[in-house]
Amino acid sequence: MLKKELKLIVTFYTTSSAMATEKACKENNISGQLMSAPRELSSDCGIAFATNTSNRDLIEKLLKSRNIEFEKMVEIKV
């Protein structure tokens, strides 16, 4: 059985915002990946971005600077 890790999960209203986040993070060497949004989190598009919790400030600044809209950021074990 895989051990669950605490991750920062970012959910989005649109798929294009999720994909823009992945691209922006890759361009800025911020690790993470797209995933299906966990059931316990609301997500209009069903896609979320998962990254290390230590990246929270970087992600928030990056999304704001690129005007990428997101639904919410939550730290959960996945």
Burial category of 18 from C-beta neighbours within 10 Å (exposed 0-12, middle 13-18, buried 19 and up):
buried
pTM comes to 0.92
Q: How far apart, in whole angstroms, are the C-alpha atoms of residue 72 and residue 11?
A: 6
Instruction: Supply the pLDDT for residue 39.
Output: 83
Instruction: Supply the pLDDT for residue 61.
Output: 98
Q: How far apart, in whole angstroms, are the C-alpha atoms of residue 68 and residue 40?
A: 23
Q: How far apart, in whole angstroms, are the C-alpha atoms of residue 55 and residue 45?
A: 23
CATH class in words for 6-77: alpha beta
pLDDT at 38 over 90: no
Task: Flag the least confident range among 26-35, 36-45, 67-76.
Answer: 36-45
User: Which pLDDT band holds residue 43 (cuts at 50, 70, 90)?
Assistant: low
Q: How far apart, in whole angstroms, are the C-alpha atoms of residue 65 and residue 73?
A: 16
Q: Residue 62 corresponds to which amino acid?
A: L
